[in-house]
Structure 1
């Protein structure tokens, strides 16, 4: 009986101790989840802290469960050991930065580790800027459209501004992408702005959007990811830095089709449109057979160069035209894109007289006033001096005889007489050929020497002009040098000569001069680069020739 009672007592003690130990173990092994806030805007982030206390080590929860409703921006793990009120404890902690993917009532799901389960946490996600902390946000995005209605293919400016009161670095942004629309980034600025008495640093991007179809145009939300805090170049781990995600509001704008009242040949919705004409030299000095270059520039604010139409071809009796390949150029800026189309035409008059170039009219749609307008380049009158160019006689025709050949009765020579005549004729031919060849050989070195001397003198003039001359003077000197070096190109326009020769240094030199003379506004001339190009050109071997073989005649049909 005594042994039985003792056994029962020991069994009771063992059960009590086991229950206590299991309770202590269960209390020691725990997985808890907390968040820094339960309500936020869709363009803001929050921090999830997950802590595991237990004897088992290794492993981690399945964080992929979070990606159903949230974007995981960053995740850090730390192992900690501390003594609190004389009691030692150790735990593993994960800090996760999350950004909601949508609005509404969401849940941070329960996570599992070593048999432990964390509680699910409700999260309320509001629209952008509507959270209780909306007025005190450290960083936020703003999207602004320059108009709430536009026409198809008209320019829409989309400005995206990032405001911040804390230091941000490593900023990564989604590119603006809109189906069925052409998009170009045209401007980027950084400045400061006061909001409710608080200074904000502003990073602004401007996009030009050209919708290709009518209907509602959707501007999707844009995501920005950045790191807060100062970047410490002496620290491998910026523990105080935090990765955040910002999300802008979606926008929409109505795109109208081309108005039925528009009567223009080409649909050109622009803020402004202009035509400018310039000449390579004074048209008052126009002479027969001498080429003159006409440059017409079509510029439109709010249109890309690819949208601008070709100008009508010039067809005037007595004038031969040699158009070059049109040049297209887009100039981005704070007000969007200014597109330019430059058409250059070499004109050669074949006879003197008074000429008139017809006016050029471009119909376009004024996007500021909502009205159809027309821009016109007036008709241009000029005189051509000189003698007319006489076309050569058509091959195969002959002039009528001036007199009738008298009939003479010939006496048939004998055999030896024929042999003697042939011998004398052959001898005379050899004598003539000998003196002709000798004369040409003696004159050829003299002609070549004179030509080389002229080329050297013209090259020196060109070099001197490049050092201190005006762009127009340098261009004239360069044309004279080309005409002397390659006589076959004497009557060709500069653009045709460049194309025929295929010399890259020559093409670059003319580009620099054309930008300084004809561009509006003129582009400053890089004199040092131009001097280097001309120095190279004057060192070209004398045997250089046009790459396309024989040049076509200037007046060939």
Structure 2
């Protein structure tokens, strides 16, 4: 009985916690555009439910929340709290409402925030613990010219955590290169720790672009809040890098071929086996490699090779790759092919020439492979097959005996046999039951899937340029027996002006990416017309293996 009374007394004496209040606060109001404010929501109890903060993302760039729970006992009275802290940066100027939040039926008040435009004074290196710098190796670019964007964070003290916004502008392709690098620098006599992040930037069209500076939002250790670092609290910090203005010029009108701008471009080739003498009918492997500096792998064009008479090329799918070397992006594209010479004698492989634009000298240059002369020796096995006489069976009459035989007897016998054969054929045709003609079977080249025109129609109507190119390459391989090196080579094969113009526009969309929206319906119409002409006249398309 005594124990029961003691339990009742302990229960009555224990505090009863329940959520009764939600408080919300903002450390800055009004707020400058580009400035970061701290929003804090505090509940007077420990709760497991988190409010929905996604409504803030309509008007603000939100980082967080960070959750904190605390229990205090003051003069024998205990209290518990749960808090959420978020960093907010307004997307534009104006007046916005931070709505009320609700937990377990308890709501906070709403806050009206005014965001005004203004230029925040640049933080000086002497009295700033944190600042950012953006730089570009060149702000005067051509379309498709690769440039290097660098964002560097300078800070003193202990940066506990941080989030750096990614640069993003429509019409500029920006992609991070490698990992962040940590270091230190002296700025006006002060030592700063640094984090550097590099990007490759490629303008997709000509014009003027303003690249907003990246923003860092994070927390730093506040040494003034505690005597020892263990007890010190963190404080919210933010900084914004400088904006960059970029002028992008269009491709020069006098540039021939597919547009390629780089710091350096080279061509080299390898033969396996390495020899200057080929054997008729035996394949050798020729590998040509394009190497370019300050070019992304997808920017490297295809090679168009002139093929002399008496030679066949069997090409493999080109392989492209890229890597960063000492701060420079190096890209390569490898073309491997089997070369088969069908004629003996001297063979001249024409010069290979690739035009490119030197971004330093602002002039056209050419990467070349010189003309190559090789000798093709006669293959004894092929020659023996061509000159091997027909072996006469032993049961046949010798040439002398045949000359002595009466020719009338042979003609009479052959005439009788021919009449009997014709009679049997006529009887078979007369008594053959009538059947529906079997469908025409089209024999596809080995290893080539049938190209369904419906896929091209869907790609053209949805303006999907990569899918349209992939289908055309498959169709060309099915039609001509081999895949063309590029859309330009396919245009030469088809020899149709309207179709050629559409292929050039498709090629421009894939590689040059100038300021225009590719519309594929015209390409579909031209291909359909070309296909119908081919069905009506088989000579509408060239023979297999053109230029060979």
**Short-chain TM bin:** 0.5 to 0.7
**Aligned counterpart in structure 2 of residue 260 of structure 1, from 228, 250, 253:** 253
Deviation at residue 257 of structure 1 after TM alignment: 1.2
Distance 2:271 2:61 in 1: 64
Partners in 1 of 2:100 and 2:310 — Cα distance?
89
Q: Which residue of 1 aligns with 2:240?
A: 247
Q: 1:299 aligns with which of 286, 291, 297?
A: 291
CA shift, 1:267, in A, is 0.9
Alpha-carbon distance in 1 for matches of 2:110, 2:177? 49
What's 1:28 paired with?
A: none
Q: Deviations over 1:324-351 (max 9, x none)?
A: 2211112234545322111112223344
Shift of 1:93: 10
CA contact (8 A) 1:43 1:248 kept: no
Give the secondary structure class of the aligned counterpart of 1:241: strand
Match of 1:357 among 330, 337, 349: 349
Distance in 1 (CA, whole Å) between partners of 2:310 and 2:149 is 52
In structure 1, distance between residues paired with 2:169 and 2:315:
38
1:101 matched to 2:93: no
Query: Runs of 5+ in structure 1 lacking a partner?
Result: 1-30, 231-236, 410-556
Verify: 1:224 aligned to 2:216, yes or no.
Answer: yes
* Kept after mapping to 1: 8 A contact 2:267/2:291: yes
Partner residue, 1:390: 383
Partner Cα distance (1:118, 1:82) in 2: 31
Secondary structure of the 1:216 match is strand
Residue 298 of structure 2 aligns to a residue in which SS?
helix
Offset of 1:213 from its aligned partner?
1.5
User: Aligned partners of 1:380, 1:283: CA distance in 2, in Å?
Assistant: 12
State the Cα deviation string for residues 266-315 of structure 1 (Å, max 9, x = none): 11111111111122233145334443221111112222232222222342
> Helix, strand or coil for the counterpart of 1:306?
helix
Paired position in structure 2 for 1:177: 168
How many Å apart are 1:387 and its aligned residue?
4.3
Distance in 2 of aligned mates of 1:60 and 1:259? 58
2:495 paired residue number: none
> What is residue 144 of structure 1 aligned with on the other side?
135
Aligned position for 1:212? 204
Task: Write the distance in 1 (CA, Å) between the matches of 2:286 and 2:43.
Answer: 81
- Shift of residue 253, structure 1, vs aligned partner: 0.9
Shift of 1:228: 2.7
- Cα distance in structure 2, aligned partners of 1:64 and 1:405: 103
Instruction: Tell me if structure 2 keeps the 8 A contact 1:141–1:248.
Output: yes
TM-score, normalised via structure 2 length: 0.53
**Residue of structure 1 in register with 2:320 after alignment:** 328
The question of 1:372 aligning with 2:369 is answered no
Describe the shift of the 1:393–1:181 C-alpha distance in structure 2 as closer, same or farther (beyond 3 A): same
| 1:208–1:336 Cα contact (<8 Å) kept | no
* Distance in structure 2 (CA, Å) of the matches to 1:279 and 1:178: 45
Shift of 1:223: 3.5
SS in structure 2 of the partner of residue 286 of structure 1: strand
SS in 1 for 2:402: coil
Which one has the largest radius of gyration? 1
Describe the SS at the equivalent of 2:309. coil
CA offsets 1:452-486 (integer angstroms, 9 cap, x no match): xxxxxxxxxxxxxxxxxxxxxxxxxxxxxxxxxxx
Are the equivalent residues in 2 in contact too, given 1:278–1:294 (CA < 8 A)?
yes
Please give the secondary structure, in 1, of the residue aligned with 2:233. coil
How big is the alpha-carbon RMSD for the aligned residues of Structure 1 and Structure 2?
A: 5.1
Aligned partners of 2:148 and 2:201 also within 8 Å: yes
Change (3 A) 1:384 1:66: closer
Does structure 1 conserve the Cα–Cα contact (< 8 Å) formed by 2:24 and 2:108? no
Is contact 1:73-1:243 (8 Å) kept?
Answer: no
- Please give the residue correspondences for 1:477-488 in structure 2 after superposition, counting only pairs within 5 Å: none
Shift of 1:72: 6.6
Q: Deviations over 1:411-448 (max 9, x none)?
A: xxxxxxxxxxxxxxxxxxxxxxxxxxxxxxxxxxxxxx
The whole-number CA distance in structure 1 between the counterparts of 2:46 and 2:349 is: 90
* 8 Å CA contact 1:294, 1:346 repeated in 2: yes
Cα distance in 2 between the residues matched to 1:57 and 1:164 = 36
Instruction: Kindly provide the CA deviation profile for residues 11-32 of structure 1, in whole angstroms up to 9, marking residues without a partner as x.
Output: xxxxxxxxxxxxxxxxxxxx99
